[in-house]
Amino acid sequence: MKQRRADAGLSQIDLAARLGLKYYTFISQVENGFSRVPTEIMAAWAAELGLEPAAFAKHLLLYYEPELHRLLFGAKK
């Protein structure tokens, strides 16, 4: 996710501001696996990174809830 943000030309401060987040350090927490992208801003986060929201959500689900991802989409290939 950090690379996607960098590819979009955004700093953590920039992304946090665009998403309306109070603390830019939350971006670091997500990028380092200490927090999750909140569902309510997932589409906006994807848009800021230039990604399709459904694909972004599906990719995150693979990491956040691998068993649920497997049940919904089958085994990872």
- Residue 23 has a pLDDT of 96
pLDDT tens-digit readout, 10-53: 999 999 999 999 999 999 999 999 999 999 999 999 999 999 99
- Residue 76 has a pLDDT of 61
- Residue 75 has a pLDDT of 78
Q: How many CB atoms lie within 10 A of CB 25?
A: 13
Could you tell me the domains of the chain? Answer: 2-73 (1.10.260.40)
Higher pLDDT residue, 75 or 33?
33
DSSP states along 26-66 = HHHHHHTTSS---GGGHHHHHHHTT--HHHHHHHHHHHH-H
- pLDDT-based confidence at residue 77 (cuts at 50, 70, 90): low
Which class for 30: exposed (0-12), middle (13-18), buried (19 or more C-beta within 10 A)? buried
